[in-house]
Amino acid sequence: MVKWQCGAHQGNGWGHDMRMTRHKRILSNAEQVWKAVQKPTDLDSQHHTLAWLLETACFILLALCSLLYANNDQTYPFAWLPTGLAVGLLLLRGRKALPGVMAGSLGAALVPAYLSAGNVSDGLLQFINATVFTLLPALITWLTYRQARRRQLPLLRYRDFLWFLGALTLASFATALPYTILLTWSASQAFTPQATLLHLWLSCILGTLLVAPVVMSGHPRHLTRHFKHVSFEGLLWLSSLMFVLLIASNSPMQGLYLIFPITIWAATRFGVAEAMVCITVAGATALFFAIQSGESGESASSLLVAEALIAMITAVSCYVRILLWDRDMIENSLEDIVEQRTRELQLTNFELKDEIFVRQQAEKSFQRSSRHYRALFETASNPIVVVDEQVTVRQWNSASEKLFGYSRDEAIGRNLANTFIKPEHRDELAWKILKLFSVGVSQDTLETQVQGFNGDTYHILWNLSLLPGYDESQRRVIMIGQDITEIRHSQSQLHYLAHYDVLTDTANRRLFEDRCKQAISSALRHHRNCALICLDVDHFKRINDTLGHDAGDVLLKEIANRLRSCVRQEDTIGRLGGDEFAVLLNQVSGADGCEKVARNILDVLVQPISIPAGEIVVTSSIGIALAPDDADNYEQLLKCADMAMYRAKKAGRNNIQFFSEDMNREMLRQITLEQELREGIARGELDLYYQPVLDARSGRIDGLEALLRWRHPSRGLLSPREFLEIAEQTGQLQILGEWICQNACLQARAIQAMSSKPVSVRINLSSRQYNHPQLADQFAQTIRESKLDPSLLLLEIDERILSDHQADTANTLKRLKEIGVGLVLDRFGSGLSSLKLLRDLPFDQVKIDQHLLHHAPHDENTRAIIHTLVNLARQLSLTVAATGVESADQDSFLRSAGCHLLQGHRYCKPVASAQLPELLHRVNGGEPLLPENPFDFPLTTRPSLTGKE
């Protein structure tokens, strides 16, 4: 039950291809929409009461639909649809829609109030909240948009739609913020204000975006007429949507990303009304399946991301449809203007032809032709130069004067090449002019750089043509220039962007790969070495997160500059991505030369770097691979250097590692094990083994520790130490932890039925499980679903995990204790904060570090430490447990020291869950697991520090 808590282009059909070519057709459609806004329908003008009832029914229906967009974890729908209807009616009709909107809002608010399971006061409170969440954002959106855009409908112009989005976002935030603050003051249980604010904000926005565009796009009669003619493309779209929904039914969150092309298809191919309906249908179904995924195990943050993603997809798709509509109107307006101008040009052309004909008939003399040629020559915007065989200037137009700064009288008689052309292009110019005169070629081209009068350098493309009509001794070449400086600058910029990293001015991945391939080919050909160094800045993400990305950019620039100072001119520095750099050392003298360069890089990078926030010191991890010793191609060489770099990180960072073959074998082993682990989880190869925890006095089974095992199909039974590291690196550790928790709780129910006395089950929490924000909620849900007594579940938490997260430890353990589970401090005595943990945190038991136990029988100091730890825990009324007991000496020592619970191979090895009934049956039958103590005196001669047991 959803409870609002407080204090607890119109097209011609689906197949319309959006290529309307006539302006009148688009204007007629636009006028229909605008008339629908300005003029009420006959039903509205004659039967107001009936219209209000119909609108109120629509509000109630949308409120009922909104209840579909809610799950058990949220106290409000993910999309409140009545807000969208209210906004659409207000923007469509203005003040005339206010009575209907208010009546509909009250009717919609009755839905959550009526469905409330509370008393009358709760229902009244929900009615008020729902009314506010319908009316307040609608009124704010309408008033804000009307103030900014007057009476323009948001669907007619893309700028109007952007104003509408802005007003809607502001109104939604103004509605959600006070409600969130009120919830924060009066909440009866802990919740996240940021997530609540975002959910409420997005609920208003999404509800409006799903309904308002459909309401504003046309009357129901128009929509019905359009939907009567469903084209093949419309059916294809519906089929595609159904296919995407089929995918989303199996993988809802991944299926969200397929909704965006579906909505863009509708926005670009259908009319405004059809597109808005299609976008609404796609967005509504996507939201429904996203919520279903949330009920199937997705986290609240995933639902928040899905809600924001659907809102963005809906807004962008509507914006694209309106933008295309606006563009078509502009294009058709421009088309009419072009047609009008074409007719004018045609008339002008006819006039010019008549004038030319008259002039040709009136003046056929050479003087007339000469003046005409000179007019064209002088008024040309491009520089035009006429030269003879010696490249001497014979004619010079005004554009040439402007470019070179020489007047016609100053330029005529000068040698063009020697005076105006740069030396590197002079020979080419002379050769091409000679070719025109000698070979008989009539045209040619030449690109040169010239120094302009203002001091700038210009790139000029010259078209060289041999002028006809001259005597053999007076032949001329006309040179018409075109300024291509901007083109060359753009080409240079594109070349730079395609081959260099803009931030660090180093080679990008594409250029670096090309340089590496050339160096490897040269090394193979000349039988020498080249080296690839991969360098990664240690803890760079921490710098970005704490100091900001601007500081990170400054740091990357300085690192690139320092790398340049460490390598030669022929070497190449590349930025492969993020904080990862690579250095290509061409022609190196083996590993010694590489190590010298790499050591220099390490020494230079550790020097303080100045950033806006001060100075920082960074370190780096370096991996080196040699070609052709390690690899003879770029891909393999980069892979080898990467493996060496990650080995350097594992070795403590700020060091250098050369590639070796064992790294490759280790990488292949990890990849294989990762794939096998994923398949093993899917095939059910995991199993829980249980090792009894015995009472040191009575010998009865006090508890069972759940231990994970993997029945590998080829390697047999694997312990966690053989695959947990791979699981943590590949993100599967959380899945394993949830599997252990669910199966241990379910099997614990069965254990109670098989045992004559209550037996607790112990679960070890990993660091990643402990740091999960929903740890307590997950355990509470698992215990609730398995119907297990929470007191029979003990969580063992490593002391080192608590030491690393002391700020949040108390709250986390408090929430776990509220559930009712027991808490065990594992590896007690292994850290430096044990006393503080015992004093401040609500532990029930402590488990002595087994590394101390292994040295106890032979080391007096270790025995004294264990005696102290046991006495301290007993004084604090904590149960003391010991694990890893393997010998009689250890057994006797622990009993004499006063340990309450014992666990180890001496008593019983871990047994599979399938063999657990047999073990419990033997124990119930009287078979003892705890051997008799062969010693009646403690192994240590040191007395107890407290004088007590």
pLDDT band, very low/low/confident/very high, at 42 (cuts 50, 70, 90): very low
Same domain for 189 and 266? yes
Does 703 share its domain with 650?
A: no
Is 184 part of a structural domain of the chain? yes
Q: How far apart are CA 691 and CA 685, in angstroms?
A: 20
Give the pLDDT of residue 19: 37
Question: Which residues fall within 8 angstroms of residue 703, CB to CB, at 6 or more apart?
Answer: 692, 693, 759, 760, 761, 762, 794, 901
| Pairwise pLDDT comparison (42 vs 881), residue with the higher score | 881
Domain presence at residue 929:
no
The per-residue pLDDT for 881 is 93
CA Rg value for the chain: 41
Query: Is 1 inside any structural domain?
Result: no
Phi, psi (rounded to 5 degrees) for 927: -70, 125
Angle, alpha carbons 314-320-324 (nearest 5°): 150
483-500: pLDDT as tens digits: 888 888 888 888 888 889
Residue 366 lies in a domain: no
pLDDT value, residue 226: 54
Does residue 82 sit in the same domain as residue 144? Answer: yes
Q: Does 644 fall in a domain?
A: yes
- If we measure between CA atoms, which residue out of 695, 634, 698, 637 comes closest to residue 664? 637
- Among the listed residues 243, 2, 287, the one whose alpha carbon sits nearest the alpha carbon of residue 126: 2
State pLDDT tens for residues 307-355.
888 888 888 888 888 888 888 888 888 888 888 888 888 898 888 888 8
pLDDT score, position 804:
59
The tens digit of pLDDT for each residue in 475-534 reads 888 888 888 888 888 888 888 888 899 999 999 999 999 999 999 999 999 888 999 999
Mean pLDDT along residues 885-914: 89
| Residue-wise pLDDT tens digits, 552-608 | 899 999 999 999 999 999 999 999 988 899 999 998 888 888 889 999 999 999 899
Token code pair at residue 83: 């807000």
Say whether both 483 and 632 belong to one domain. no
Last residue of a domain, one of 272, 297, 330: 330
659-694 confidence digits (pLDDT tens):
887 776 777 777 777 787 888 888 888 888 999 999
Domain assignment present for residue 270? The answer is yes
Our count of domains for the chain comes to 4
Examine the domain organization and report whether 271 and 145 are in the same domain.
yes
Is residue 233 assigned to a domain? yes
Binned at pLDDT 50, 70 and 90, residue 94 comes out as: confident
Per-residue pLDDT for 768 more than 60?
yes
Average pLDDT of the residues in 839-851: 85
The whole-chain average pLDDT of the chain stands at 80
Question: Which domain covers residue 229, as residue numbers?
Answer: 23-330
d(CA 746, CA 753): 12
Model confidence at 461, pLDDT cuts 50, 70, 90, reads confident
From 448, 469, 490, give the residue that closes a domain. Answer: 490
Structure tokens at 18: 């959006």
pLDDT of residue 518: 92
CA distance 273 to 271: 6
166 and 97 part of one domain: yes
Q: What CATH number is given to the structural domain containing 729?
A: 3.20.20.450
Within this chain, do residues 253 and 141 fall inside the same structural domain, yes or no? Answer: yes
Q: Which element (helix H / strand E) includes 509? A: helix 509-526
Beta strands at 572-577 and 580-588: parallel, antiparallel or unpaired:
antiparallel
The predicted structure's pLDDT at residue 806:
60
Cβ atoms 504, 556 nearer than 8 A = yes
Domain CATH number, residue 572: 3.30.70.270
Phi, psi at 543, each rounded to 5°: -65, -45
Nearest to 689 by CA among 705, 670, 703: 705
Q: Same domain for 679 and 817?
A: yes
* Residue 669: per-residue pLDDT: 74
| 939 found inside a domain | no
Burial class (CB in 10 A: 0-12, 13-18, 19+), 321: buried
> 124 or 151, which is more confident?
124
Do residues 759 and 615 both lie within one domain? Answer: no
Q: What is the pLDDT of residue 227?
A: 52
pLDDT attached to residue 584: 94
What is the pLDDT averaged over residues 708-734? 81
What is the per-residue pLDDT for 949? 32
Whether 286 and 198 share a structural domain: yes
User: Are 109 and 49 members of one domain?
Assistant: yes
Q: Write b or e for each residue in 711-747: b if 16 or more Cβ atoms lie within 10 A of its Cβ, otherwise e.
A: ebeeeeebebeebbebbeeeebbbebbebbbebbbeb
463 with 321, same domain?
no
Q: What is the pTM of this model?
A: 0.45
